[in-house]
Every structure is written in C-alpha cells, then in structure tokens.
Amino acid sequence: ATWLIDDPKQPLARLLRIADLPTVALLDTSGSVLFNGHPSDPKLWNLLRQVAPNLVRPTVHPATPSPDESPSE
C-alpha cells in the first residue's frame, strides 16, 4: 500500500470527483481508477477479491438499543 499526500492546490478529491462520503477510490499501481464509489457497492468487493482472493467482506450488524434506552417518539 502507498500513502498519498494531498496537494492543497489540486486536491485529490477533486481529481477523483469525490462528492459524497463515504467514498472509496481504488487505483492500480499505474494510477488508473479501478473503482470510485460507495464502499458497500458489490463491484468494489469483486475487484478487491481479484487482488486479494482471501479477503473477506466484513459483516455489519445493525445497532440495537440497550435496555435502558427508550425509543424516540
């Protein structure tokens, strides 16, 4: 992996056309954009599995209120 340092004169977010959060941009080693979108998009996970076949998509469970929390009305 490589860390990028953003240039204030030409922000990476503008170059990658990032308008919403969260957004994931997946680039190859030549700088070509392979994916640019929401991290829950299945296309991202299909691309990631091509790069790292053992990668497992995390399971996110919805939050449940604790017994001492009352529902909002």
Q: How confident is the model over 2-27, as pLDDT tens digits? A: 666 677 787 877 877 777 888 888 88
The mean of the pLDDT values for the chain is 81
What CA–CA distance (Å, rounded) separates 7 from 9? 5
Q: 0.75 exceeded by the pTM?
A: no
Distances (CA, A) of 63 to 12, 21, 59: 33, 20, 12
Q: Please give the pLDDT value at position 69.
A: 63
Q: What is the mean pLDDT of residues 28-57?
A: 90
Cβ(42)–Cβ(35) under 8 Å?
Answer: no
Query: Which residues have a Cβ under 8 Å from the Cβ of 57 and sit 6 or more positions away?
Result: 45
Looking at per-residue confidence, does 31 or 71 come out higher?
31
